[in-house]
Amino acid sequence: MTQHQSAQTMKPATAAKKLGVYLDATPDEFRAGAVSRAELNALQTDPPEWLRDLRRDGPHPRPVVAAKLGVSISGLARGGVTEALTTEQIEALKTENPEWLQKERATQAEVRKEAVRIKEAQAEKAARADATDQRD
């Protein structure tokens, strides 16, 4: 018996998120209908000009803006950045380096350090448990 596989589709918002672009900046035809998994794969492997332009120049969605600035999405909100920013605006913010950005970058660095510390502690605990199991 053969199975008929239907094409998986997703909403344009989901596809835009997976592509790392701001949905409102995408062309109308992209926002108009569902995007199949095959179409998404094609966009990722051979992006059209509009997608290359969006990825390069923006406007970028908040997760991309946060990553480019080295802060969390919450840090963006605390800094008053609630809208999509272009690459030019992000670079201007980096150059200006306002106090909120400095503070949020420091906070993010502490979060990363703590995550590494926890991971190392868990690995050490697991290694001790393995050593104990091997002796038994």
Split at pLDDT 50, 70, 90, the class of 130 is confident
Please compute the mean of the pLDDT values over residues 24-49 and round it to a whole number.
Answer: 90
Per-residue confidence (pLDDT) for residue 1, from 0 to 100: 44
Tell me how far the alpha carbon of residue 97 is from its chain's centroid: 22
Split at pLDDT 50, 70, 90, the class of 133 is confident
Split at pLDDT 50, 70, 90, the class of 88 is very high
User: Across-strand partners of 36?
Assistant: 9
Span 89-126, pLDDT tens digits: 999 999 999 999 999 999 999 999 999 999 999 999 88
Classify each residue of 44-62 as buried b or exposed e, where b means 16 or more C-beta atoms within 10 Å of its C-beta: eeeeeeebeebeeebbbbb
Side-chain-side CA neighbours of 58 within 13 Å: the count stands at 17
Measured in degrees and rounded to the nearest 5, phi and psi for residue 112 equal: -65, -45
CB 77 within 8 A of CB 46: no
Per-residue confidence (pLDDT) for residue 136, from 0 to 100: 61
pLDDT of 6 higher than 70: no
At residue 83, what is the residue type? E
Span 40-75, pLDDT tens digits: 889 999 999 999 999 999 899 999 999 999 999 999
pLDDT of 127 higher than 90: no
Per-residue confidence (pLDDT) for residue 35, from 0 to 100: 87
